[in-house]
Amino acid sequence: MKADTIGYLNRAVAILVVAALAVTGLSGAARAFETQAGSAWVIDHNTGQVLLSHNAEVPLPPASMSKIMTLLMTFEALDDGRLSLDTRLPVSEHAMSFGGSTMFLDTTDRPTVEELIRGVVVVSGNDASVVLGEALSPDGTEAGFGRIATERARQLGMEQTTLVNASGWPAEGHVMSMRDLGLLAERIITEYPEYYTYFAETEFDYENRAPANRFNRNPILGMGIGADGLKTGHTQEAGYGLVGSAVQGDRRVTFVISGLTSAEARARESERIINWAFRQFVMEEIAREGTEIARAPVFMGMEQTVGLAPAESVEMLVPALLDPEITADITYVSPLPAPITAGDVVGELVIHQGVRDVTRTVPLVATGDVERGGLAVRLRTATGLLMERVTGGDATGPTAESATDG
């Protein structure tokens, strides 16, 4: 009987809403940023909080912004030794045939990987992208690169990405979502800081081939707002887009926009987003490590309750001037079976920031030791359970305690 009783108690889950964690601000619901972009995604790099998501899951033609995937796979090849910065690569007739933005490569050239990277980043070279893609492709073709790039995108959680080429040249089925492009940018910034510096370069002139085409088209690099990347894109179908990132103080913000009607509109919207992301949010401590926020009942213990505390402090970006609408749920097995040692993980704190649908989950630990009770405690518990059954209490299945804070 004791084993059955403990099994039942271990399945029962208590869910409490912690009103003490609510952060108050000015009254009224927060209004979302009104972007002029057809699709947009903005993330705070340090916390991983998504600040804005507007049509961000929709697969769209990415134009030259998809060159970032070619660059990521190049960086991965540099990292594992398949390429080096001074590796020289051949230029195929296929690569040479591209128009639009190019390095003006021909089949007699043998550019280095570093030159090709700079050619992709700074002058958005379609030819440079194809040379890198063909070098990385299992079968040496750009189409082959598209297949492995799509597979790699899936491995990275980029579910709305399908690539058929290395350059972003308009092609049926070549699509990415703005969220996927943002995840891609975040990975490069985090995993390859030694190569990320290329994205801040403002000009690159390969062997004086096209001096007029040597300038980086990224409009935010020269605005004095901390911008240091990453890539523009434009086709008639996609409109004008940008994958951008900027640092101010100890914060970094990364964003992706698409569907703007002109280069000027792209520049204005990029600046608006950066200013909004840095000015309209403040960091708040929502929960402090080790501070008791609730008490949970204990089964078969020398103490009847034990304190619960976050295993780590939680800071979140919240709107500076509007009500952030923060609530939190505590979940744990109720009652907690003894024995319990201080520091044991016994539950979870789930924090919700309703304005932007942000959720953070933090382990909850016991704040003290609770020894298993002796004979008297076990007899008292067994008597209580027996009385519940005799008087009609339900001791045959799981129950849940709940409270709601309006």
Q: What is the mean pLDDT of the chain?
A: 85
Q: How far apart are the first and last CA of the chain?
A: 41
| pLDDT for residue 31 | 52
Looking at residue 304, its pLDDT comes to 87
* Mean per-residue pLDDT, 227-254: 96
Helices within 192-257 (DSSP H only): 193-196
Across the beta sheet with 251-260, the strand order is 50-54, 39-44, 251-260, 239-248, 227-235
234 touches 263 (CB < 8 A): yes
pLDDT at 1: 25
At 113 the pLDDT is: 98
| CATH code at 39-279 | 3.40.710.10
Phi-psi bin for 21: left (phi > 0), alpha (psi -120 to 50), beta?
alpha
Q: Can you give the residue ranges of every domain in the chain?
A: 2-27+285-390, 39-279
Residues 373-392: pLDDT tens digits?
A: 665 555 565 555 555 565 66
Closest CA to 328 of 213, 228, 405: 405
pLDDT digits (tens, 9 = 90+) for 181-229: 999 999 999 999 999 999 999 999 999 888 888 999 999 999 999 999 9
Residue 179, pLDDT above cutoff 90: yes
Kindly state the tokens that stand for 145.
Answer: 């690169």
**Percentage of the chain surpassing pLDDT 90?**
66
Nearest Cα residue to 309 out of 342, 333, 358: 342
**Is the CB of residue 345 less than 8 Å from the CB of residue 363?**
yes
Determine which of 167-171, 322-326, 349-353, 362-366 has the lowest per-residue pLDDT on average.
322-326
Q: What angle do CA 294, 300, 305 make, to 5 degrees?
A: 15
* 362/313 Cα distance (integer angstroms): 9
What's the pLDDT at 333? Answer: 83
Beta bridge partners of 308: 294, 366
CATH number of this structure's domain 2-27+285-390: 2.60.410.10
Contacts of residue 124, defined as CB under 8 A and 6 or more positions apart, other chains included, come to 64, 67, 101, 217, 231, 232
